[in-house]
Structure 1
Amino acid sequence: MEKISIDTVDKKLLTLLQKNADVSVAEMAELVGLTATPCWRRIQRLQQAGLITRKVALLDAPKLGLSMTVFVQIKAGRHDGKWLDEFARHASSFEEVVEFYRMSGEYDYLLKVMVTDMQCFDHFYKRLVNGIDLNDVTSSFAMEQIKYSTAMPLQHL
C-alpha cells in the first residue's frame, strides 16, 4: 500500500467523519470548500488508502446497562508462541472484552471489559481464568469516566 499524502482538506474531512459519519457528502463538501464529487472522491481515496477503516454507530453503554468498566491486567502463564496464540484467541472470544492490548512492564496484557454489574464480571472472570493457564490476574474497576473519545488526534498531520 502506498503512503498517502494528507492535505488540509483531507484533515478536515477526517475530523468531520470522526465526529459524525452520517453527515452527507454534500454537507461535508460545503464545510470543507469543495463540491460533492471531489469531496466524495477524496473520501473514497482515504478509504482505499486504509485511513478510514470502517464506519460504525457508537452506542451509549450506560443506557445499554453496561455500567461497569473493568481493566484486567494479566501476567502470561508462559512466554511461548503457542500459549500467546491460544491466549489471544481465548481473551478475544469474550464479547465483554472491548479492548485488548499486549503491554510492556509488569503485566503482559490489558483487557478493557464492560459488564452490567459485579455478578456479570464474576461470571466473565471465572470463564477467563478457567479457559487457560495464567500466572496472575488483577482487576481495577473504573469509578468515573473522565474522557472518552474514538477520534484519532490529527494535529501532527
Structure 2
Amino acid sequence: MAAKIDETDRRILRALRRDARLSNSKLAEEVNLSASPCWNRVRALEQKGVIEGYSALLSQKALGLPDTVIIEVTLERHDDETVERFGQALAALPEVVEAYLLTGEYDYLIKVAVAGTEGYEEFLRRKLYTIPGLRHSRSTFVLRCLKRMASVEP
C-alpha cells in the first residue's frame, strides 16, 4: 500500500531528489517549514520507506567505463532455482548497473557499464557467459543517454 504523503512531503521529496545533500536548514527554508518539523517529516518519510536511501551518482566515463550496453537474456529453464541463482550472480557483477526480471520474450534486462567493445567482450566471455542457466542473449550499445533519474518524480 502506498504511503500517504501531502504536498509538503512532495516538496521535500522533490528538493531531496534534486540535491540529497541539502542540509536540514536549507531544505526547511526551501519548502517553507521550520527546521524541526522539516526534520520530523524527513524522518517519517524514511521510516515509511518513501525515502529508501541516499546515494551519489558517479560518472561512468570518469571511472573508465564510458559505454553502456543493454542486454536481453533468455534462460534455459524457468524454475525457481535457476531464476534465483542467475539473479544473484548478476547482482554480484560490478559492471551490472541495473538488472530486471521480466515478463515477455526475454527473462532479464541488464544494463552494464563497460570500456568499449573490448571491455564488453571481456564482460561477456569471462562473466555473463559463465553464469549457469543462460540460453541466449542479445545486446545493444547505448549511443547517448537522454534521461537518467535515480527515482520517480513525487
- What is the TM-score when the length of structure 1 is the normalising length? 0.92
Shift of 1:135: 1.6
Deviation at 1:3, TM superposition (A): 5.5
Deviation >3 Å, runs of 4+: none
What is residue 33 of structure 2 aligned with on the other side?
Answer: 34
Which residue is equivalent to 1:131?
131
| Counterpart secondary structure, 2:62 | helix
State the partner residue of 1:142: 142
Q: Which residue of 2 aligns with 1:71?
A: 70
User: What fraction of aligned residue pairs are identical, expressed as a percent?
Assistant: 34
1:153 aligns with 2:153: yes
Assess if the C-alpha contact under 8 Å between 1:100 and 1:109 holds in 2.
yes
1:2-151, aligned counterparts within 5 Å?
Answer: 4-126=3-125, 127-151=127-151
Which one-letter code corresponds to 1:18 in the other structure? R
| TM-score of the two chains, using structure 2 as the length reference | 0.94
Partner deviation per Cα, 1:50-101 (whole Å, 9 max, x = no partner): 1111111111221222211000100111011111111111111100001000
Instruction: Say if 1:61 and 1:67, in contact at 8 Å, map to a contact too.
Output: yes
Do the aligned partners of residues 135 and 3 (structure 1) sit closer, same or farther apart at CA in structure 2, a change above 3 Å counting? closer
Shift in Å, 1:138 = 0.8
The alpha-carbon deviation at position 42 of structure 1 amounts to: 0.3
* SS of aligned partner of 1:135: strand
| Post-superposition offset of 1:153 | 2.0
Contact 1:19 / 1:151 at 8 angstroms: preserved in 2?
no
User: 1:151, CA displacement in angstroms?
Assistant: 3.3
Q: CA–CA distance in 1 between the matches of 2:91 and 2:150?
A: 20
Unaligned runs of 5+ in 2: none
Q: Which blocks of at least 5 consecutive residues in structure 1 are unaligned?
A: none
Cα deviation, 1:23-44, whole Å, max 9, x if unaligned, reads 1111111111110000000000
